[in-house]
Homo-oligomer: A and B are copies of this chain.
Amino acid sequence: MSVFVSIQLDKSKDEPLYIQLYLQLRQMIEQGRLKPDEKLPPIRKLSEQLKINSVTVVNAYKLLEQHGYVYSRVGSGTYISDNLHNQLHQLEPPETEPFREEEFRLMDQGQIHIRSNTINFASATPTPELFPVEDFKNVLNEVLDRDGGFAFGYQESQGFFPLRESITAYLRYYGIEKTPECIQIISGAQQGIDVLAKALLNFGDCLVVESPTYTGAIAAFRSRGAKIIEVPIEKDGINLEVLEKKLKKFHPKFIYVMPNFQNPTGYCYSLKKRKALLQLAKQYDTLIIEDDYLSELNFSRKKLAPLKAIDHYNKVVYIKSFSKIFMPGLRLAFLVLPEQIYNDVLAAKHTSDISTSGLTQRAFDLYLRKGIWQKHIQYMQKIYKERYKVMSEALENFMPKEIDYHLPEGGLTFWLALPEGCSSNKLYLECREKDVVFVPGSVFYSTQKDSRYFRLSFAAVYPEEIKKGIRILGNTINHLLKNNTKNKKGTNYYTPLL
């Protein structure tokens, strides 16, 4: 016990006691004063010695464990990690592991160059020929002639005022009535998530995400040292019972959701669940971050208003990206903010990159004002509705009956499930050999290394290729399922999830 005598906690400090204790224990481990596999004192003992509440010790140990400094053995106690170096590197997969999160994240953004004859159901990003380059070139030049150097000076951190005005007009169309003062321009939705994480999360705070969800959000939240709580998403939205339990227990700072065409599942929240979610946010005094990255691509006749449009308690922070349907490389999006977080978000944006490109903001403002945006959306809807139809029919025709999926009402992706116990990682490897790629489901969970789910996107595939690709995929699955039936032990294909 001798080294623990040196621990000094100061109740008068702003820093919570459990954080103080965590930091001092961490230092002892890093300096080698606590050795690998050495046991930490029992909670009761240490709390008595330090004259603190045992919950404080529990929380400090938990933090150490979350950060890989210790491990616990049930019924035995808490031990210093024996291979600290490996533990701290646990997020990096070894070379042999082919399902690197990074790889799929990049594929999702069309950033990975795959073999040119590969059918790419992984990328959820439109291909360059769909971008309105000529129209945008015209507005760029108009702005340069009009504003000259002013387009390149420092811009107001909150965003170019006329653009914030145009956005209020755009929002009105979706039933959101807000003034330009509530709008913060950001350099893409990812920055929006990151800025909100900065403004809202302190070290050790909790937040809720849908499971599965967008990996970029997980990364931003994790970077703040926050605890991420996963709540399953169902075909009509997040599981409310589980959510309420977690809200009660963890008092999260916010719930991060995508109510329309959720990524990766494509699920939409029912109106009932939308209302219930807002009610829970009010009841448990938490915020909702609504990430709306694609609701323009609605192929159903249902009107799918954003959650923000019925946000009567002012609990919703709305993130709107133009990347997936406009031009991802432009890096432009916006937030609609409830008043109470306005100052914190503005400061976080300023710390992040001072302001978003003035030229981009001014050009996009003109693009909206001239009504070219609406024209472009209609064009994209037409293109994608066709691909969606082709994909739906191909799945209907070529998918074995064992495969479970749900027809989304819009968006760019389908979410499919292999039979229980199957590995979509393995399916991925087989298909890649046949020049068809997609994203295995494990990428969208914060803890799973394999999953029976996988995501197919038609964003970057032409109709005739969609058909061909789905046929290959269907055949591959069929083949594997048959092989598996022959060989019941299942070494080849059926494997327990890791």
Contact = CB atoms under 8 A, between A and B. Distances in A.
Interface of A: 16, 18-19, 23, 26, 55, 59, 62-63, 66, 92, 105-106, 109-111, 125, 127-131, 133, 136-137, 140-141, 144-157, 187-188, 190-191, 194, 198, 202-204, 216, 219-220, 223, 225, 323, 327-331, 343, 347-348, 350-360
B152 A125 contact: no
28 contacts: A18-B148, A19-B149, A19-B203, A59-B146, A63-B150, A110-B153, A111-B154, A125-B153, A125-B154, A129-B148, A131-B152, A140-B140, A140-B144, A141-B141, A149-B327, A151-B329, A153-B327, A155-B329, A187-B331, A187-B357, A190-B353, A191-B353, A203-B225, A216-B354, A219-B351, A330-B358, A331-B355, A357-B360
A152 B328 contact: yes
A156 B111 contact: yes
Chain A interface mostly: helix
A153 B328 contact: yes
A135 to B, nearest CB: 11
Contacts of A343: 92
Contact of A154 (B19, B329, B358): B329
Given A110-B154, A136-B152, A190-B353, 12 more contacts: A18-B148, A59-B146, A63-B147, A111-B157, A128-B148, A140-B144, A152-B327, A154-B328, A187-B331, A223-B348, A225-B225, A331-B354
Nearest to A19: B148
A23 B360 contact: no
A253 to B, nearest CB: 12
A331 B356 contact: yes
Contacts of A351: 190, 194, 216, 219-220, 223
A230 B155 CA distance: 30
A154 B329 CA distance: 5
Q: How often does this chain occur in the complex, in copies?
A: 2
A343 B92 CA distance: 10
A360 B127 CA distance: 19
A185 to B, nearest CB: 12
Contacts of A157: 106, 111
Contacts of A194: 351-353
A381 B55 CA distance: 36
A352 B352 contact: yes
- Top 4 nearest A-B pairs by Cβ distance? A128-B149, A329-B358, A152-B327, A131-B149
A105 B154 CA distance: 12
Contacts of A216: 350-351, 354
A152 B140 contact: no
Contacts of A353: 187-188, 190-191, 194, 331, 352-353
Contacts of A359: 329-330, 360
Contacts of A225: 202-203, 225
Contacts of A360: 357, 359-360
The residue among A18, A23, A353 with the most chain B CB atoms within 10 A of its own CB is A353
A152 B329 contact: yes
Nearest to A27: B204
A240 B446 CA distance: 45
Nearest to A126: B153
Contacts of A26: 204
Query: Which of A225, A328, A329, A356 has most B Cβ within 10 Å?
Result: A329
A346 to B, nearest CB: 9
B130 A219 contact: no
Contacts of A355: 329, 331
A400 B203 CA distance: 50
Contacts of A153: 110, 125, 127-128, 131, 327-329
A354 B220 contact: no
Contacts of A105: 350
A277 to B, nearest CB: 25
A133 B109 contact: no
In this complex, which of A62, A106, A194 has the most chain B Cβ atoms within 10 angstroms of its Cβ? A194
B331 A357 contact: yes
A329 B352 contact: no
Nearest to A188: B353
A132 to B, nearest CB: 9
A357 B357 contact: yes
Contacts of A18: 148
Contacts of A187: 187, 331, 353, 357
A223 B225 CA distance: 12
A156 B152 CA distance: 24
